[in-house]
Amino acid sequence: METNSTSGASGAESIVVENLQKRYGDFEALRGISFSIKPGEIVGFLGPNGAGKTTTMKILTCFMAATEGRARVAGYDVHQASRQVRERIGYLPENVPLYDEMLVYDYLKFMADLRGVAKARRQERIQAVAELTGLGQVMGRPIGELSRGYRQRVGLAQAIIHEPEVIVLDEPTTGLDPNQIIEIRDVIKTIGRHKTIIFSTHILQEVTAVCDRIIIINRGQIVADGSLHELEARVAQAEPGLRVSFAGEPTAALQTWLAELPGVEGVYAVSGAPTMASFRLKTRDKAQTRRALLAAEPPAEHELLSLTEEEPTLESIFRLFTGGSTEEGEVSEAGESGAQGASETEAAAPSPVEQDEEEEALSDAASNVPSAGEGAADARQEEVSRG
Ligand SMILES: Nc1ncnc2c1ncn2[C@@H]1O[C@H](COP(=O)(O)OP(=O)(O)OP(=O)(O)O)[C@@H](O)[C@H]1O
């Protein structure tokens, strides 16, 4: 039975999820999630491995039933009106099943048929999606001969062949090289001009490159929902920080001196030039710590070179909303290797001096993948002179 006969195009929400729960045996993969997405929004569904992203997407696309709760797509209940939902939704699964021996053109024709595109419109639709996804050159090639980037374009093309209002993409850039990632992001942005898109990722940078909004899921629960700007503001409030650099090699004396400044709650060594000692300071009160830093005399030979106010990074956003428990490689700035490029050196530091590996991994990884969002990690330079 249909709960609402209107489609998302009329201005209603494109996706409405209410208290959705999913249990696999005794395991609760989704623990009552709720959110809604408006027509035309591009939403990044962000979370670490096992958070529940694929489970949510499978329920939205009628591949799996929820244990409790409701979901509506384009006004139709996924459980009660699955045919109507499937007609209005396009899905790119994490591992899209493609037939290697089929020509790209034949595959798209086959998928158009499967999705109920009227015979008279098939040719026009194949041409339109080929153009949109940049497949023109490879329409006569067997899918098995295509690069991973082109295979993903084929996956996107099949997801939109029937002109769905809502598009669900499960980790669409996983396994692609940096150039392919940028190309696929561009295709997603182009498609998103006229469609509602929800796509999952554990690549933090993806969300700034493509999304209007971010929903963060962790252990089956929604832990944050807002624009990047809103989430950054919340992090800035929760994790105020400064970055300082001094002349000379980092020493225990310098770190102890920093740790004892008013307001300071943590000192994190950050690698830099060999003749420079750089630290991130976690502070209860940025203004108080900054004043103290400028007024006090650092240990001998450690002239203060710069004092920088830290902007929240995507990593810090994720850390805040998922309880700080990112595992190595689990959530990365620029792909699977993102958490492995830490460049700071282990400092022999007195408590509470700590390392901030994620921070450095982020800037390393970010330099590999040019994209929007790099500015999020940039700090506002406030050069200070101690002359
Ligand atoms: N068929 C299943 N049977 C039992 N447990 C499952 C099944 N499918 C998923 N799970 C578990 O449910 C949780 C959520 O899985 P899901 O695939 O939705 O997470 P995800 O956020 O998409 O992760 P990833 O980023 O690794 O794809 C995980 O702990 C997973 O092991």
Angle at 164 between CA 69 and CA 191, to 5 degrees: 110
Residue nearest to atom 5 of ligand 1 (CA): 24
Give Cα separations from 223 to 21, 248, 258 (angstroms): 15, 42, 33
Residue nearest to atom 2 of ligand 1 (CA): 24
**Which numbered atom of ligand 1 lies nearest the CA of 56?**
18
User: What's the gap in Å between 227 CA and the centre of ligand 1?
Assistant: 26
Q: DSSP 3-state assignment of 293? A: helix
User: What's the gap in Å between 54 CA and the centre of ligand 1?
Assistant: 7
ipTM of the complex, rounded to two decimals: 0.97
Counts of helices then strands in the chain (DSSP H, E): 12, 16
Q: DSSP 3-state assignment of 216? A: strand
CATH of 8-226, one of 3.40.50.300, 3.80.30.20, 3.10.105.10, 3.20.20.70: 3.40.50.300
Residue nearest to atom 17 of ligand 1 (CA): 54
User: What's the gap in Å between 52 CA and the centre of ligand 1?
Assistant: 6
User: What's the gap in Å between 47 CA and the centre of ligand 1?
Assistant: 12
**Which numbered atom of ligand 1 lies nearest the CA of 47?**
21
pLDDT at residue 378, as a whole number: 30
The C-alpha atoms of residue 11 and residue 47 are separated, in whole angstroms, by 29
User: What's the gap in Å between 45 CA and the centre of ligand 1?
Assistant: 15
**Which numbered atom of ligand 1 lies nearest the CA of 52?**
18
* Substitution candidate for ligand 1 out of 24, 33, 46, 336 with most atoms within 8 A of CB: 24
pLDDT at residue 369, as a whole number: 25
Which residues is 269 bridged to in the sheet? 279, 355
* Substitution candidate for ligand 1 out of 17, 31, 54 with most atoms within 8 A of CB: 54
pTM of the model: 0.71
pLDDT at residue 336, as a whole number: 31
pLDDT at residue 232, as a whole number: 78
Q: Average pLDDT for consecutive 10-residue bins of the chain (387 residues)?
A: 40 90 96 95 90 95 96 95 94 88 96 94 95 93 93 94 95 85 88 90 79 91 90 74 90 93 89 82 89 90 89 72 51 34 30 35 28 29 30
Residue nearest to atom 9 of ligand 1 (CA): 55
Give Cα separations from 188 to 46, 85, 184 (angstroms): 16, 21, 6
User: What's the gap in Å between 119 CA and the centre of ligand 1?
Assistant: 38
User: What's the gap in Å between 50 CA and the centre of ligand 1?
Assistant: 5
Residue of 115, 96, 117, 98 whose CA lies nearest to 107: 98
Residue 8 CB neighbour total at 10 angstroms: 24
pLDDT at residue 54, as a whole number: 94
pLDDT at residue 324, as a whole number: 54
Residue nearest to atom 26 of ligand 1 (CA): 49
Q: Where are the domains of the chain?
A: 8-226, 234-382
Compute the Cα dihedral for 361, 367, 368, 370 and give only its sign. Answer: positive
User: What's the gap in Å between 71 CA and the centre of ligand 1?
Assistant: 19
pLDDT at residue 343, as a whole number: 30
Angle of the 178-191 helix axis to the 119-133 helix axis, nearest 10: 130
Report the pocket of ligand 1 as residue ranges, CB < 6 Å: 24, 27, 29, 47, 49-55, 202
φ/ψ bin of 177: left (φ > 0), alpha (ψ from -120 to 50), beta (otherwise): beta
Which residue type occupies 14?
A: S
User: What's the gap in Å between 24 CA and the centre of ligand 1?
Assistant: 9
